[in-house]
Structure 1
């Protein structure tokens, strides 16, 4: 399997235009010929444990009026497409407590994934603190699924 590295998103990413001082942004990369769309289709096919965590999150957050829809389109979608180009895909949304985006970017044979979060208030800060360990588990799991395909005989 390909080695997943923790690394900043390439400077040419459109996502950097959103980042402000104090925002959260992480980054992972793996050698992969996959397009951002193909990587998203693989990486965001969540295993059962991730679906269970998302369902729990949605159940707990719904009373607070936070977005809980699981579709990839529509005004209430949790992961709507903000930008899609040949080498970059940015998904995410703005909510009352925080704004977030997930970026997948192909750059020189490496597939990068980053998550950006801007906290809008104290609830957003508390929410990010609470979910950050789960975010890291999910992000690494996503990259492992992408890496498995990238290193397998069917990766093109």
Structure 2
């Protein structure tokens, strides 16, 4: 069943995603999909960069609040991770380290003392018009200790809101066009 345009649907972790079986034990896993219109890019790197560049403003405020809370626990802050983007040795997408990129999937994430996580941006379906293409953002988290489990318990609802809002906003703005295609109409 094709995923609707502009509607973010919770889905199972995609079998074709490289993060689906990444960790032996998982403390959080979720996936959300949205349909891509005909003519939209199928490049996961371009789509990921587009999503993160156009997030709602409240997400930045939420990250600042998170930074204030977690800094006292010695956890990596978004502010610290953003400074790493200037390091030419490591490829990053905003605050996230890029772990892999291929024709259909980009995997980003971060490792810390309390937990490791990966976020997959997966483009599925053929790029032809009317093919039912979808973009799926999946997250898996492996906690190392009690602090990680408490942290993920507290932020999980916010994480889900952020992912869904980010996908909806990108769809509203209008996905970037694929090569040789005019930009899709805004919705």
Q: What is the rounded CA distance, in whole Å, between the counterparts of 1:70 and 1:144 in structure 2?
A: 25
The answer to whether the aligner puts 1:83 opposite 2:87 as a matched pair is no
Cα RMSD, aligned residues only: 2.5
The answer to whether the aligner puts 1:102 opposite 2:119 as a matched pair is yes
The 3-state SS of whatever aligns with 2:16 is coil
Q: Tell me the residue number matched to 2:183.
A: 154
What stretches of structure 2 of length at least 5 have no aligned partner? 126-132
Cα pair 2:26 2:140 within 8 Å, conserved: no
Offset of 1:16 from its aligned partner?
A: 1.9
Offset of 1:129 from its aligned partner?
A: 0.9
The answer to whether the aligner puts 1:31 opposite 2:35 as a matched pair is yes
Q: What is the rounded CA distance, in whole Å, between the counterparts of 1:23 and 1:65 in structure 2?
A: 21
Cα pair 2:99 2:107 within 8 Å, conserved: yes
Alignment size in residue pairs:
156
The residue correspondences of 1:2-151 to structure 2 (distance < 5 A) are 2-32=6-36, 33-34=40-41, 35-45=43-53, 46-68=55-77, 69-71=80-82, 73=85, 74=87, 78-108=95-125, 109-148=133-172, 149-150=174-175
| 143-152 vs 112-121, which moves further | 143-152
Offset of 1:8 from its aligned partner?
A: 1.8
Q: What is the rounded CA distance, in whole Å, between the counterparts of 1:70 and 1:51 in structure 2?
A: 14
Offset of 1:130 from its aligned partner?
A: 0.8
The 3-state SS of whatever aligns with 2:109 is strand
